[in-house]
Amino acid sequence: MAAYRALLVEAFTAEPLQGNGAGVVLLEEPAEAPWMQAVAASLRQSETAFLWCDPSDSWRLRWFTPSCEVPLCGHATLAATLGLHHWGLMEAGAELPLATRSGGLPVAVSTGQPPLVSLTLPSGELMPEPEAPPQLTALLGDTPLAYWSSALGYRVALMADGFPLADLAMDCGALQGQDRQGLVVMQAAAATTPSLAGEPCDYQLRFFAPGLGIDEDPVTGSAHALVAPWWMEHLQRSTIRGWQPSWRRGGMLSEAVTPGFVRLSGTGHLLWDGQIHAPGCGHDGEGWAVCSSS
C-alpha cells in the first residue's frame, strides 16, 4: 500500500494544542484533486497542504479544507514550510518560492529555536460597502463601525473597542450570502489581549467560514494578510501584531513589503510526524500551478 510522509503542525503558536492545525502531505508525483480532497476530509483539519517537487526542482503547493480546495491559506503554508525544513528539504536562512494558485509565495525559516517562519502573502484590497447586512448586525448584536468586501471573497466587519469579540458566540449556520464564505470580525486590541513575543498586539480578529466547511478557523493567515494593511495605515506603522482570540488562540507579526503583499511571521508546533497509507492518488498535473514571481 502506498505511504506518504505526513505531519500535523499547529501554526502561529509556540504552545502545544493551540494555534491552527494543518496537515501536510509530501507527494512524489502530482496527485488528483479528488484523492487530495478525500485525504483532507479524513485528516479533518481546517486545511491540509499538499507539496510536490516538480522535475525542475520547483516546489508546488495546494490547500484543501475537508470540503473544498481554497486559493490561499496562510497557516497551512507555514505548516508546509516547517514540514520541508523538518524533512531536511529546506535550509534555514534560505528563501524558497512555493508555486500556488495565488502565485509564487516566498517562504523562509530562521535559524533560531523555535524556528520563525516568514511567508509573503497577497493582501488583496478592502472595498467599502454602504453598510453591513441587517442579518449580520443581528447575529453580532451590534452595528459594525465599517464593513468591507474584498477580492479574496472575505467580508470584514470592524467593531467598536468595547465589543466582546473573544466571547462572541457566532451562529455560523445563520450566516448568509458572501459572509458564509469568509467573515472577519475585528477590532483594536483590548487591555486583556495577550502579548506576542513580549510585545503588545495592535488588533484582534476572529474568522468564520461555514461556506468553506469551517465554522471558525482558529488563527487565519489569509485573514490577517487581508486586514493588516488597513491597520498599518490606521496606526501609521509598517509593522503590526495581530491576535486571534479563538478557542485555539495564536497570533502573528505582519510587515509591509511590496504593494499588495504582506509578510507574516510566526512559529509553529509539530504535533505529530509519520505516514499516511492511502492508495490511488493517481497522476494528474492539472491544477498544479507553475511557479511565478510574486
Q: How far apart are CA 80 and CA 98, in angstroms?
A: 10
* Model pLDDT, residue 1: 64
Helix 74-86 × helix 221-235 angle, to 10°? 110
Cell 466587519 belongs to 157
Cβ contact 57:90 at 8 Å: no
- Kindly report the three-state secondary structure assignment for every residue of 176-219: CHHHHHCEEEEEECCCCCCCECCECCCEEEEEEEHHHCEEEECC
One DSSP character per residue, 208-265 reads EEGGGTEEEESS-HHHHHHHHHHHHHHHT-SEEEEEE-SSS-EEEEEEE-STTEEEEE
Maximal C-alpha separation, the chain:
56
* Model pLDDT, residue 293: 35
Number of CB atoms found within 10 A of residue 100's CB: 25
Q: Is 216 a catalytic residue?
A: no
Q: What is the pLDDT of residues 85-94, one digit of tens each?
A: 999 999 999 9
Would you state the cell numbers that stand for residue 230, as one nine-digit string?
488597513
Nearest to 266 by CA among 234, 243, 237, 291: 243
Is residue 52 classed as helix, strand or coil in its secondary structure? strand
Q: Can you say whether the dihedral through the CA atoms of 289, 74, 264, 4 is positive or negative?
A: negative
Q: What is the pLDDT along the chain (294 residues), one digit of tens a residue?
A: 689 999 999 999 999 999 999 999 999 999 999 999 999 999 999 999 999 999 999 999 999 999 999 999 999 999 999 999 999 999 999 999 999 999 999 999 998 888 999 999 999 899 999 999 999 999 999 999 999 999 999 999 999 999 999 999 999 999 999 999 999 999 999 999 999 989 999 999 999 999 999 999 999 999 999 999 999 999 999 999 999 999 999 999 999 999 999 999 999 999 999 999 998 898 888 888 864 433
Would you state the cell numbers that stand for residue 137, as one nine-digit string?
448586525
Cβ contact 167:135 at 8 Å: no
**Which member of 10, 15, 29, 47 is catalytic?**
47
Cell 513580549 belongs to 198
Q: What is the pLDDT of residues 112-155, one digit of tens each?
A: 888 999 999 999 899 999 999 999 999 999 999 999 999 999 99
Domains of the chain (ranges, CATH numbers): 3-116+268-277 (3.10.310.10), 126-261 (3.10.310.10)
Q: How far apart are CA 65 and CA 29, in angstroms?
A: 21
What's the predicted TM-score (pTM) here? Answer: 0.93
